[in-house]
Amino acid sequence: MELKQKLSFGLMRLPLKNKLIQTAVDHAAFCEMADAFLAAGYRHFDTSIVYHGGASETAFRDCVAKRHPRDSFTITDKMPMFLIKHKSMLEPTFKKELARCGVEYFDYYWLHSLNAKSYETCEKVGAFEWLEEKKREGRVLHTGFSFHDSAEVLDRILTKHPEVEYVQLQINYLDWEDEKVQSHLCYETARRHGKRIMIMEPVKGGALADVPETVRLMLEKADPSLSPAVWALRFAASLEGVDFVLSGMSTQSQLEENTAAFEKMAPLTQEQTALLLRAAEVIRSGIEIPCTACRYCVDACPMELAIPDYFSAFNAYQGNKKKAAEDFETHAADHGRPGDCIACRACESHCPQNLPIADLMVRVKERFEG
């Protein structure tokens, strides 16, 4: 597949009418972006029932499914295994997703965010067998799962279930050799099992778009025509066996930059890949909390705390203390303060990065509130 065809529109970070309300998706702005995306020759979208508190799916329905022919786009949706308790929940959830997306079938359908714990749930409720049944019915064209755990766990799942076609992995140059995320090892494991790959978080939740000045200069010296975000997308798109690279685009300018970049994108050379891995070492040394702002923790929080926003302010503190403090106060005023955390740790079982969120909230409180 040509690199151009690999760009996918991830619907996790859609434009908002109110940045403090995740369900307040700006449909007019998204319609404009979706139209431009399709007009540029791209066709794949990726959503989930948990993105934007469910508003991602309905925004896709209203802005894409209702306004464009079914054969002009493809869509991935996912079964939220971290919310499934019984087999009886699978079918109603699936039908709800079809209705909310406004389609009669999904081109790609995943078991969402598998790790060792949620994989046990999959086996308990027969999720893999149910998924194959949907494929036989024609309600799902391609099967797979998204994954956040070690390569050893991935190998175990793929050995037990060779029938799945795809694995969606968190891959970016910052996580490539990370001992915890194991992007490289997971990629090699999926390829060894002959699976096609879709990539999520290629820009690490925006962290690889807003890189430290030292890294920006490194990349600029190598090729001044490329932005840091495009460098990150090239790293992901250059890998063999990758069908789609998801980009969570929030603005028209981001969309235009990404589509323009993929139009003329070439695979990385060995020297360029080595440069990015050196850049990763520099970036990693300055990140205190490796949060990607996926917001799964917010959906699980009984106090409805703006956890990723607190972490973003925490990470930005060393660079600009005043602005970081102002951002923290803005979110704390509308969503409560870190001290309101009851340390129930419900959020931690939903975190793809396996962060000790309750402990980190104590650190955030100490930094901003003393």
- Residue 152's CATH number: 3.20.20.100
What is the C-alpha to C-alpha distance for residues 263 and 269, in angstroms, rounded to an integer?
18
**Would you say residue 261 lies in a domain?**
yes
One domain, residues 200 and 229: yes
One domain, residues 244 and 117: yes
Query: Which residue do the tokens 């799962």 mark?
Result: 145
Q: Decide which of 259, 284, 309 is a domain's last residue.
A: 284
**Would you say residue 255 lies in a domain?**
yes
Quick one: pLDDT at residue 324? 82
One domain, residues 217 and 326: no
* 269-275: Cβ within 8 A, 24+ apart: 272/222, 272/234, 273/173, 273/235, 273/238, 275/218, 275/219, 275/222
Quick one: pLDDT at residue 286? 74
Quick one: pLDDT at residue 250? 96
> pTM to 2 decimals?
0.86
One domain, residues 280 and 300: no
**Residue-by-residue pLDDT tens, the chain, 370 positions:** 577 789 999 999 999 999 889 999 999 999 999 999 999 999 999 999 999 999 999 999 999 999 999 999 999 999 999 999 999 999 999 999 999 999 999 999 999 999 999 999 999 999 999 999 999 999 999 999 999 999 999 999 999 999 999 999 999 999 999 988 999 999 999 999 999 999 999 999 888 998 989 999 999 999 999 999 999 999 999 999 999 999 999 999 999 999 999 998 899 999 999 999 999 999 988 778 888 888 889 888 988 898 988 988 888 776 678 888 888 888 888 788 888 999 999 999 889 888 999 999 999 999 988 7
For 172, the domain range is 3-284
Nearest C-alpha neighbor of 128 from the set 92, 174, 90: 90
Tokens found for residue 257:
């930059």
What is the C-alpha to C-alpha distance for residues 345 and 33, in angstroms, rounded to an integer?
37
One domain, residues 160 and 192: yes
One domain, residues 338 and 272: no
**Would you say residue 290 lies in a domain?**
no
**Would you say residue 289 lies in a domain?**
no
What is the C-alpha to C-alpha distance for residues 292 and 311, in angstroms, rounded to an integer?
10
**Would you say residue 360 lies in a domain?**
yes
**Would you say residue 291 lies in a domain?**
no
Q: Decide which of 264, 284, 304 is a domain's last residue.
A: 284
One domain, residues 267 and 143: yes
One domain, residues 312 and 274: no
What is the C-alpha to C-alpha distance for residues 287 and 204, in angstroms, rounded to an integer?
12
Query: pLDDT digits over 47-78, tens only?
Result: 999 999 999 999 999 999 999 999 999 999 99
Q: Decide which of 284, 315, 349 is a domain's last residue.
A: 284
Quick one: pLDDT at residue 156? 98
One domain, residues 264 and 300: no
Quick one: pLDDT at residue 46? 98
The 10 Å CB-count burial string (b at 16+, else e) for 291-329 is bbbbbbbbbbbeeebbbbbbbbbbbbbeeeeeebeebbe
**Would you say residue 11 lies in a domain?**
yes
What is the C-alpha to C-alpha distance for residues 230 and 194, in angstroms, rounded to an integer?
28
One domain, residues 89 and 176: yes
Quote the number of domains for the chain: 2
Quick one: pLDDT at residue 319? 64
Tokens found for residue 112:
């969402």
One domain, residues 191 and 266: yes
One domain, residues 138 and 250: yes
Nearest C-alpha neighbor of 334 from the set 12, 5, 15, 19: 19
DSSP 107: E
